[in-house]
Amino acid sequence: MSMIATILRKRFKDNIRQITRRTRGISPQRMREEVKTAAMGWVRDFHISAMTKSLHHTVRISR
């Protein structure tokens, strides 16, 4: 796994821990929406990092 993916994964896990803390006092519906939003953002960031890595690899090959 690339370093960028590892950093993104750690950031995602930290964000989920913060969202799902019991001391926040929010409804389960709101928590579900926040987790969904965080997951969608993580997937987007992960795909962007994969595309960037692929582009760097393609540029190196074409030189």
Residue 18 tokens read as: 């913060």
Length of the chain: 63
Domain count, the chain: 1
Whole-structure pTM value: 0.60
> Domain of 56?
3-62
Per residue in 8-60, pLDDT (tens digit) is 788 888 999 999 988 888 999 999 999 999 888 877 877 777 677 666 666 66
Q: Which tens digit of pLDDT belongs to each residue from 40-50?
A: 887 787 777 76
d(CA 7, CA 2): 9
pLDDT of residue 63: 55
Residue in the structure block whose two tokens are 């409804």 = 27
